[in-house]
């Protein structure tokens, strides 16, 4: 397979291929969540069962691994093609049945689907509100197969660009699409593209930021591992547009599989004339390589990332000249997040107007969110920008867990903000979130219920960020230390009147003075919780935690009108001070209670509550 | 042990960035008109009209780093580190003492003071900006403000014996692996640029110690005064060296007695 010109690529896609004969296929999810839940072993079991059933000779019935299907909480997942059914929590013991009934005969195994009446992935409440652009090839291709990528519209955009479009036109399409950076800031991509294209300089670079440092986030990882060619193609288009001949994909240190998949994609693309010298016979050269990250959260920050690629310590630099003018090795550099890059082929192929028609005003396209925390269904969900938070939390995520109520939603990763229930109708986009004191960040969304203490949440994120502060500038290095000390005091019951106010002023000053984005945004968790949950700060100053989270700052009390006498709290109590007859309201003997909050978490009916200590 | 005091380097030692064009850019600093060559830093532009902006990590002979944040000023209603901010467009409007700047400096000083509470320069500024160290920060007062001037000085000499290692509040200046740095030549450049006198050294006629290393001094063959450490002179490519005073004298007499020079 070698493509000497754009036409040969188009011809190849049109030519009949073996895959066209595939009658049915089981797609085992190879996303991070399902892999952790044992999907690799499941695939082996399925392959063995298929062999045992004599199917290895039948290329029309297949079992393969694909990228992340999204509903991680219910993994390992298996998608059925062409029926579109989605099996949840599949274990190796199910393998034989899957082969015999589903793969061979196309039967539905009812116990493995969410709703036997609506067994399809499309009707599943988790998927229904979603729009799949970035994730559209998950469940349709094998991530390391260039042929699969080609058959799923891959490299259409590059063939079009190199065959018919000038670099200016490619850049113009991205500008007109309104694409905004998916790595956090939401900076208009087109501005960067045109400035970089016009910046004087013989040597230019393009970089993909795949550092993904937010704890719990894995949308970039899923993309790099599930559809690596999309990132490669995006970068190739970017290089063509701005006139770069080399590029780097900076991948988080902890993602060896991402590196492997990307490198295999790069090697295949090079072999087939889609990367390297004289791409598709157009005379355009582009060399791409991966770089393993420096292993620190701050390495995802653009100047630190470039320092790291240059072989220096991954530390931010003060820059008043933009990277598109002077970036990597002081050359004009176009840096975008991997998800931003993966949007590019779509924009170039389908046109800026089509892209801008998705999403909301000034916020075109979709965003992949990682939905985690106290919801019924967690995982990766791709939504049009501008969707209300409520849709993601209630419809996709299924709302609060039994007996609990949702208190807050934290968006944007560790330096994001916490929004209260009253802000749940806020559109998820790059303009509304910052206005409300939160950020889009890389798309992390943590749902918190009534057992989450907002002062403790601020303490938790501040502690994370303090540990990740590179220590270069004084405000972030020492300021986060001071803020953390005060927050820790509050959570231990050693707060003072006025602490909240003091924190407010420290947080504001930190945002004003820090050198890089880490320090400038590090006060967001603090400032947003102060803004929306001021009463919890005041209560902590007085030594009370209403959420029953800060040990010693409350007494548990069981509401006899709500208690069903299920006994779950008594079982959970480590001090065995809860008693009550079967189906009778239970009571806590405060003598001996260590106020750990275990009963509050155990109660499925919300009968156990935190009250002020007497 | 001698403690080195804060050394003020003359303004004429300033290393100016090469302007990319010879154009002048103009604007106002605290309401006063100023015109400077394209690319001049805000700090230099302010100095050119006699406006003093407090600095700490900045040293005119070293590459700027912008880490202490003391020199923040308000440029078109945003804060920027004046030691690094290049003036590249006319029409700028800078305020070096706005309420926002005041707040920023008070905050930064509070934090810096927790590291070096006895530093006279910081104490003086703290009075002006009404800042006091916060006891809740705990005892951090080791005297080092982590400005990295020492490290930059060491780099500038090409030695790179010391560096800043560690993240967050663990960040500190040290030799590799927290050992006395093997690369150190005992030139004292680090101690001379340290704003707080944190870097201690001792010096006698025939020996010097710094960073836990001892150095033998080379003595001037004429007057016998110490010239520098053995390794320091080796770094400069000189085995033997006259002391500055004797060198001046020798040069003067060479000039006077040299050929072709008539006074
Ligand atoms: C502390 C810090 C961490 C960051 N981490 C990431 C990251 O992991 N991935 C990323 O794409 N951008 C990250 N960013 C944002 C980058 O600096 C940069 O803005 C982004 O990669 C640009 O690409 P985009 O415009 O496509 O979003 C981080 C920024 C800061 C301040
Ligand atoms: S803000 Fe924090 S992470 Fe950024 S340069 Fe300053 S110390 Fe380093
Ligand atoms: S003097 Fe400018 S930041 Fe330190």
Average confidence (pLDDT) per 10 residues, chain A, 614 residues: 92 77 93 95 96 86 95 95 95 96 95 94 95 95 95 96 97 98 94 97 97 91 97 98 98 95 98 97 97 92 96 90 94 98 98 96 96 95 97 96 92 94 95 94 93 97 96 97 97 95 97 96 97 97 95 94 93 93 92 91 91 88
Contacts of B40 in chain A (CB under 8 A): none
CB contact under 8 A, B146 and A509: no
Within B67-197, where are the H helices? 99-115, 120-128, 149-156, 189-193
Closest ligand to C-alpha of residue B42 is 3
Give the 3-state secondary structure of residue A220: helix
Residue A363 dihedral angles phi and psi, to the nearest 5°: -140, 70
What dotted CATH number matches B20-143?
Answer: 3.10.20.740
Q: What is the pLDDT at residue A55?
A: 87
Q: For residue A68, what are its two tokens? A: 């992340």
Between A207 and B243, residue with greater pLDDT: A207
CB contact under 8 A, B168 and A321: no
- For residue A183, count other CB atoms closer than 10 A to its CB: 26
Identify the band that residue B256 occupies on the pLDDT scale cut at 50, 70 and 90: confident
d(CA B49, CA A24): 79
Domain ranges in chain B with CATH number 3.10.20.740:
20-143
Tell me: the pLDDT tens digits for B77-105?
899 999 999 999 999 999 999 999 999 99
Q: Answer whether the bond into residue A76 is a cis peptide, omega within 30°.
A: yes
Q: What is the pLDDT at residue A38?
A: 95
Q: Are A190 and A179 in contact (CB under 8 A)?
A: yes
Domains and CATH numbers, chain A: 21-123 (3.40.30.10), 146-356 (3.40.50.11540), 363-449 (3.10.20.600), 454-541 (1.20.1440.230), 555-611 (3.30.70.20)
Q: Which helix (H) or strand (E) holds A342?
A: helix A338-350
Q: How many residues does chain B have?
A: 263
Counts of helices then strands in chain A (DSSP H, E) = 25, 19
Query: What count of Cα atoms within 13 Å lies in the side-chain half-sphere of residue A315?
Result: 17
d(CA B175, CA B180): 6
Identify the band that residue B259 occupies on the pLDDT scale cut at 50, 70 and 90: low
CA angle in degrees (0–180, nearest 5) for B210-B212-B215 = 55
Strands (E), A391-443: 406-411, 417-420
Give the 3-state secondary structure of residue B237: coil
d(CA A567, CA B204): 79
Q: Are A70 and A108 in contact (CB under 8 A)?
A: no
For residue A338, the ligand 1 atom closest to its alpha carbon is 11
d(CA A499, CA A455): 12
For residue B147, the ligand 3 atom closest to its alpha carbon is 4
Quick one: which of A339, A360, A140, A152 has its CA closest to A234? A339
Quick one: which of A358, A584, A474, A254 has its CA closest to B146? A474
Quick one: which of B183, B229, B182 has its CA closest to B206? B229
Q: Are B74 and B98 in contact (CB under 8 A)?
A: yes
Quick one: which of A590, A549, A552, A586 has its CA closest to A569? A586
Tell me: the pLDDT tens digits for B139-165?
899 999 999 999 999 999 999 999 999
Q: Are A174 and A352 in contact (CB under 8 A)?
A: yes
Quick one: which of B60, B25, B31, B65 has its CA closest to B45? B25
Q: For residue A396, what are its two tokens? A: 């996709």
Query: Which residue of chain B has the CA closest to A475?
Result: B108
Ligand 1 contact, A423 CB (< 6 A):
no
Q: Are A114 and A124 in contact (CB under 8 A)?
A: yes
**pLDDT reading at B185 higher than 80:** yes
d(CA A574, CA A588): 12
Q: What is the pLDDT at residue B22?
A: 67
Nearest-CA residue for atom 3 of ligand 3: B66
CA angle in degrees (0–180, nearest 5) for A153-A283-A285 = 75
Strand order in the sheet with A61-66: A61-66, A24-29, A78-81, A86-87
- Interface check for A320 against chain B (CB to CB < 8 A): the answer is yes
Distance from CA of A473 to the nearest CA of B (A): 4
The residue with tokens 């004599």 is A54
Report percent pLDDT > 70 for chain B: 89
Residues 6+ apart with CB under 8 A from A460: none
Strands (E), A239-286: 246-251
d(CA A218, CA A33): 9
Taking CA atoms, B91 is separated from B72, B88, B263, in Å, by: 19, 10, 53
Provide the chain B residues 42-81 that lie in CB contact (below 8 A) with chain A.
64-69, 72, 79-81
Phi-psi region of A579 (alpha: psi -120 to 50; beta: other; left: phi over 0): beta
Q: Are A207 and A314 in contact (CB under 8 A)?
A: no
Q: What is the pLDDT at residue B8?
A: 30
CA angle in degrees (0–180, nearest 5) for B176-B177-B183 = 25
Query: Which residue of chain A has the CA closest to B108?
Result: A475
Ligand 3 contact, B149 CB (< 6 A):
no
CA angle in degrees (0–180, nearest 5) for A405-A410-A416 = 165
Taking CA atoms, A438 is separated from A25, A179, B228, in Å, by: 43, 20, 57
Q: What is the pLDDT at residue A15?
A: 84
d(CA A342, CA A189): 13
Quick one: which of B146, B149, B215 has its CA closest to B187? B215
Q: For residue B110, what are its two tokens? A: 């509070």
Nearest-CA residue for atom 6 of ligand 2: A473
Q: For residue B87, what are its two tokens? A: 């003036």
Q: Answer whether the bond into residue A82 is a cis peptide, omega within 30°.
A: yes
Task: Measure B69 CA to ligand 3 centroid, in angstroms.
Answer: 5
d(CA A340, CA A442): 11
Query: B73 pairs with which residues across the strands?
Result: B80
Q: Are B15 and B43 in contact (CB under 8 A)?
A: no
Closest ligand to C-alpha of residue A196 is 1
Taking CA atoms, B219 is separated from A40, A556, B214, B252, in Å, by: 73, 79, 16, 21
Q: Which of B66, B85, B137 is closest, CB to CB, to A478?
A: B137
Distance from CA of B231 to the nearest CA of A (A): 27
Provide the chain A residues 484-513 that lie in CB contact (below 8 A) with chain B.
485-486, 489, 506, 509-510, 512-513
Query: Which residue of chain A has the CA closest to B56?
Result: A474
Q: What is the DSSP letter of A362?
A: T
Q: What is the pLDDT at residue B102?
A: 97
Give the 3-state secondary structure of residue A427: strand
Q: Which helix (H) or strand (E) holds A384?
A: strand A379-384
Task: Measure A337 CA to ligand 1 centroid, in angstroms.
Answer: 7
Nearest-CA residue for atom 23 of ligand 1: A336
Within B80-177, where are the H helices? 99-115, 120-128, 149-156
Distance from CA of A514 to the nearest CA of B (A): 7
How many cross-chain Cβ pairs, A to B, lie less than 8 Å apart?
Answer: 104
Nearest-CA residue for atom 20 of ligand 1: A183
Q: What is the pLDDT at residue B1?
A: 34
**pLDDT reading at B263 higher than 50:** no
Q: What is the pLDDT at residue A564?
A: 93
d(CA A296, CA A25): 40
Q: For residue A302, what are its two tokens? A: 């653009």
Identify the band that residue B235 occupies on the pLDDT scale cut at 50, 70 and 90: confident
d(CA A331, CA B230): 41
Residues 6+ apart with CB under 8 A from B201: B1, B2, B4, B188, B191, B208, B209, B210
CB contact under 8 A, A467 and B146: no
Q: Are A304 and A312 in contact (CB under 8 A)?
A: no
- How, if at all, do strands B92-95 and B24-29 pair? parallel
Tell me: the pLDDT tens digits for B48-73?
999 999 999 999 999 999 999 999 99
Q: For residue A586, what are its two tokens? A: 């239970």
Q: Which helix (H) or strand (E) holds A307?
A: helix A302-309
The residue with tokens 């340290």 is B194
- How, if at all, do strands B92-95 and B72-75 pair? antiparallel
d(CA A107, CA A434): 49
Give the 3-state secondary structure of residue A335: strand
Closest ligand to C-alpha of residue A517 is 1
């Amino acid at each position: 397979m070698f493509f000497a010109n754009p036409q040969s690529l188009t011809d190849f896609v049109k030519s009949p291929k073996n895959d066209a004969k595939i009658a049915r296929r089981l797609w085992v999810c190879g996303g991070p969540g399902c892999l952790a839940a044992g999907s690799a072993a499941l695939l082996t079991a399925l392959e063995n069962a298929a062999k045992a059933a004599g199917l290895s000779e039948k290329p029309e019935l297949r079992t393969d691994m694909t990228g992340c299907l999204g509903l991680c909480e219910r993994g390992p997942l298996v998608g059925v093609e062409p029926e579109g059914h989605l099996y949840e929590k599949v274990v190796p013991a199910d393998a034989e049945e899957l082969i015999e009934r589903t793969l061979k005969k196309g039967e539905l195994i009812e116990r493995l689907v969410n709703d036997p009446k609506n067994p399809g992935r499309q009707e599943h409440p988790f998927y229904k509100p979603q729009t799949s652009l970035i994730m559209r090839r998950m469940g349709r291709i094998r991530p390391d197969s260039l042929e699969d990528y080609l058959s799923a519209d891959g490299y259409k955009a590059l063939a079009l660009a190199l065959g018919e479009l000038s670099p200016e036109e490619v850049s113009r399409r991205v500008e007109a699409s309104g694409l905004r950076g998916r790595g956090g800031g939401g900076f208009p991509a087109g501005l960067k593209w045109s400035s970089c294209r016009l910046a004087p300089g013989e040597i230019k670079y393009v970089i993909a930021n795949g550092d993904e440092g937010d704890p719990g986030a894995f949308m970039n990882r899923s993309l790099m591992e599930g559809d690596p060619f999309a990132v490669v193609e995006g970068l190739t288009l970017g290089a063509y547009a701005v006139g770069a001949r080399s590029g780097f994909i900076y991948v988080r240190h902890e993602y060896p599989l991402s590196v492997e998949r990307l490198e295999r994609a790069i090697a295949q693309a090079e072999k087939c004339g889609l990367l390297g010298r004289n791409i598709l016979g157009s005379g355009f050269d582009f060399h791409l390589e991966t770089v393993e990250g420096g292993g620190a959260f701050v390495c995802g920050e653009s100047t630190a990332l470039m320092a790291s690629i240059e072989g220096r310590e991954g530390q931010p630099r003060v820059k008043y000249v933009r990277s598109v003018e002077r970036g990597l090795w002081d050359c004009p550099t176009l840096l975008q997040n991997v998800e931003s890059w993966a949007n590019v082929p779509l924009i170039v192929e389908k046109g800026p107007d089509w892209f801008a028609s998705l999403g909301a005003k000034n916020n075109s396209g979709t965003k992949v969110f990682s939905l985690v925390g106290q919801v019924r269904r967690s995982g990766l969900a791709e939504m049009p920008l501008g969707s209300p938070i409520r849709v993601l939390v209630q419809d996709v995520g299924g709302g609060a867990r039994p007996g609990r109520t949702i208190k807050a939603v934290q968006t944007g990763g560790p330096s994001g903000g916490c929004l209260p229930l009253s802000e749940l109708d806020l559109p998820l986009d790059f303009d509304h979130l910052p206005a409300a004191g939160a950020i889009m960040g890389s798309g992390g969304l943590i749902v918190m219920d009534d057992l989450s203490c907002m002062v403790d949440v601020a303490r938790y994120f501040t502690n994370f960020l303090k540990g990740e502060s590179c220590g270069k500038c004084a405000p972030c290095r020492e300021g986060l230390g001071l803020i953390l000390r005060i927050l820790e005091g509050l959570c231990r019951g050693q707060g003072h009147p006025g602490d909240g106010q003091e924190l407010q002023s420290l947080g504001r000053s930190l945002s004003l003075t820090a050198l890089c984005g880490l320090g400038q945004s590090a006060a967001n968790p603090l400032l947003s919780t102060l803004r929306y949950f001021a009463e919890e700060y005041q209560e902590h100053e007085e030594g009370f935690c209403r959420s029953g989270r800060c040990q010693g700052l409350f007494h548990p009390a069981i509401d006899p009108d709500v208690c069903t006498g299920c006994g779950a709290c008594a079982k959970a109590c480590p001090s065995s001070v809860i008693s009550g007859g079967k189906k009778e309201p239970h009571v806590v003997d405060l003598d001996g209670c260590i106020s750990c909050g275990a009963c509050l978490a155990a109660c499925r009916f919300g009968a156990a509550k935190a009250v002020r200590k007497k | 042990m001698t403690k080195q005091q804060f050394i003020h380097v003359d303004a004429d030692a300033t290393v100016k960035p090469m302007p990319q064009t010879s154009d002048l850019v103009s604007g106002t600093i605290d309401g006063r008109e100023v015109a400077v060559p394209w690319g001049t830093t805000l700090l230099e532009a302010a100095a050119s009209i006699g406006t003093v902006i407090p600095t700490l990590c900045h040293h005119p002979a070293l590459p700027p780093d912008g880490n202490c944040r003391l020199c923040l000023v308000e440029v078109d209603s945003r804060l920027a580190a004046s030691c690094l901010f290049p003036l590249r467009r006319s029409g700028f409007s800078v305020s070096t003492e706005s309420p926002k700047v005041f707040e920023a400096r008070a905050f930064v000083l509070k934090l810096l003071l927790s590291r070096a509470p006895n530093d006279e320069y910081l104490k003086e500024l703290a009075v002006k900006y009404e800042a006091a160290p916060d006891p809740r920060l705990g005892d951090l007062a080791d005297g080092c403000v982590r400005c990295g001037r020492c490290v930059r000085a060491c780099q500038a000499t090409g030695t790179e014996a010391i560096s800043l290692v560690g993240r967050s509040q663990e960040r500190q200046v040290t030799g590799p692996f927290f050992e006395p740095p093997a690369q150190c030549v005992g030139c004292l450049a680090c101690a001379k640029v340290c704003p707080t006198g944190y870097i201690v050294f001792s010096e006698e006629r025939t020996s010097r110690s710094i960073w836990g290393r001892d150095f033998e001094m080379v003595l001037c063959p004429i007057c016998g005064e110490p010239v520098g450490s053995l390794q320091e002179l080796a770094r400069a490519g000189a085995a033997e060296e006259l002391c500055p005073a004797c060198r001046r004298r020798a040069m003067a007499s060479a000039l006077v007695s040299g050929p072709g020079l008539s006074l």
